[in-house]
Amino acid sequence: MNLKNKRRLLITAALPYANGRLHIGHIAGAYLPADIAVRYLRLAGKEAHFICGSDENGAPIPFSALKENVDPQAIIDRYTALIEQAFTGLNIEFSIYGRTHTPRHTKVAQDFFLQLHDHGYVVKRSADQVYCAVCERFLPDRYIEGKCHYSDCGAPGARGDQCEKCGRPIDATKLIDPECMVCKTLGRESRRHIEVRSTVHWHFRLDNFADRLREYLDSHPEWREAVKRFSYGLIEQGLRERAITRDMEWGIPVPLPDGKGKVLYVWFDAPIGYITFSQEYFAAHGNPGGWRDFWHNPENGLLHFIGKDNTVFHTVIFPGMLLAHGEYRLPDAVVVNEFLNLEGEKISTSRDYAVWVDEYLKAFKPDPLRYYLTAIAPESADADFSWKQFQRHNNGELADNLGNFIQRNLAFCKKYFDGRTPEIDKPTDAGRGVLAEIEAARREMAELFEDFRFKAALERLMRLSQRGNQYFAEEEPWKTRKTDMAACARTMHVGMKVVEALSVFMAPFMPATALRLREFLNLPPLTHGDWTAPSRFSGGEMLGDAEVLFPKFDDSVIAPHIAALKKKLAGLDS
């Protein structure tokens, strides 16, 4: 997708399940990259709307309620609040954060289902499904677990909908050594009571859209290679009908006379939530039909940001649903990140092996994490979070490079230029070279943002800071202030221009720090279109008081977090 040709964009981020807290893997996978993109787009002068919300339907919710012996509504209310608090704490700001367990979304999803049904793309079939004779009910996907049935995988812990290891969709009736998770939770034996029985469900004729989905992928050669390879592979394997209903009470009821006791499958209704929330957002802002500008009009941009495990639903199934409906356009981009591991091990929410966002925020500010997760972003391959590496990135790159450059320039102007930016006639050739470097960074970062290469854009930002440090060292203003104050002024004038530019360029990545730096500079908060705004520093501007932007983390600060993870890992291995 070429963002240069799109002035108005709607960006979605995958809906988090409202049955647990957020951890760093969730943030690195979808939400932070999407937030960075939206912040850049607005700075670049574009109209960007950021849509997200809690996924409150599906089997995980009542399963969590069963384990806690509470009503499912209590689960979604509690975790939706915690999820929103985590996003707020990390300065991930949505235009709207909706909820799927609402009358509005129920109607939108049911109408979508009926449209597909009326078009002949939803058919009623008898199907085999896993049944627990102990519970005396058919088991939803999340209520069953076993070994992956693909011969080249065989991973344990595969759920009834998808294998987390290989990423492929699962046929629950083919799981090896299946086990009822309800029975397991209640301490009952169920493996020998697992059966396969026939039930009735409605299926989506995804197989009808193989050719059009292949054409859709063909039209986006710019997508990340792993995404295209995986999606093409699914099509080449042969698309099949997909059951889109489940035998459950919690969820969106099937809107048909013979649909009693059935609800829409959560992976059918969840992506429709993007449409629901778009409608709610524009209605709340006095433009009830505004959502159509993005979901119907291909002249505007429509982008999805997701984690790797959601790829099949966003590049194949949901586009197929949109094609079947007939009134929606297809997304321009599906930006997918790979997995984030933790200290060399896979993050496991069920086993509490994770760095939880709420716990992180009790000890640290948001921007060091935003920086680190972008610096190691799993854009093309899995990445690994390490507390020691987090410390090194903060102390070495943020404190010693970026923070040090900013601090030394501000402190120098405060002490030797009466707290003002120096006034000069013109910079030296070396100074002009640095000023040209600012404009080069502006252009190159813009191109990288538009290609969703956020990690490289951050690296380009840091190279500009490094160049500023190098320039400061080469010009030696601490010497020239004693012998040639005009030369010193030229150096500091250019240095402050770099500092000002950094306050803009860092904003998509570290918005709180950028705002604080703007306060140090006595500059107003950034606003729409400021990415290309001319410098406000011509000389003589009064600067504010400055403090350390990036305090260093001592070993004593990091050690408890490392110890806590080692303790959790020891418990998993025992």
Q: Which of 58, 23, 22, 65 is nearest to 159 (CA)?
A: 58
pLDDT-derived band at 282 (thresholds 50, 70, 90) equals very high
* Separation CA 402–CA 551 (nearest Å): 12
Q: What is the percent of the chain where pLDDT is above 90?
A: 85
Show me where the domains of the chain are located. 3-113+268-383, 119-247, 386-532
Share of the chain above pLDDT 70, in %: 99
Q: What is the pLDDT of residues 90-114, one digit of tens each?
A: 999 999 999 999 999 999 999 999 9
3-113+268-383 against 119-247: fold identical: no
pLDDT at 574 over 60: no
* pLDDT class of 277 with cuts at 50, 70, 90: very high
Q: Is a pLDDT exceeding 70 seen at residue 487?
A: yes
Mean pLDDT of 30-44: 98
Q: What is the pLDDT of residue 168?
A: 83
Grade residue 2 by pLDDT with cuts at 50, 70 and 90: low
Strands of 47-54's sheet in order across: 96-99, 47-54, 8-13, 301-307, 333-337
- List pLDDT tens digits, range 203-218: 999 999 999 999 999 9
- How high is the pLDDT of residue 573? 58
Residue 329 burial (C-beta neighbours within 10 Å; 0-12, 13-18, 19+):
middle
Provide the 3-class DSSP secondary structure of residue 42. helix
The residue that leads in pLDDT, 44 or 168, is: 44
pLDDT tens-digit readout, 489-546: 999 999 999 999 999 999 999 999 999 999 999 999 999 999 999 999 999 999 999 9
- pLDDT at residue 572 in the model: 63
What does residue 516 show for φ and ψ, rounded to 5 degrees? -65, -40
pLDDT at 1: 58
- The answer to whether residues 123 and 156 touch, using CB atoms and an 8 Å cutoff, is no
Q: Extract the tokens encoding 541.
A: 């501007």
Asked whether residue 60 carries a pLDDT value surpassing 80, the answer given is: yes
Grade residue 353 by pLDDT with cuts at 50, 70 and 90: very high
Crossing angle of helices 485-505 and 454-475, rounded to 10°: 170
Average pLDDT, rounded, for the chain: 94
| pLDDT at site 371 | 98
When mean pLDDT is compared across 159-168, 379-388, 466-475, 551-560, the lowest value belongs to 159-168
Name the 3-class secondary structure at 162: strand
Q: What's the CATH class of domain 386-532?
A: mainly alpha
CATH fold for domain 119-247: Methionyl-trna Synthetase; domain 2 (2.170.220)
Q: Which pLDDT score, from 0 to 100, does residue 339 have? A: 96
CB of 452 closer than 8 Å to CB of 392: no
At 562, is the pLDDT very low, low, confident or very high (cuts 50, 70, 90)? very high
Which CATH code, of 3.30.450.20, 3.90.1150.10, 3.40.50.620, 1.10.565.10, is assigned to 3-113+268-383? 3.40.50.620
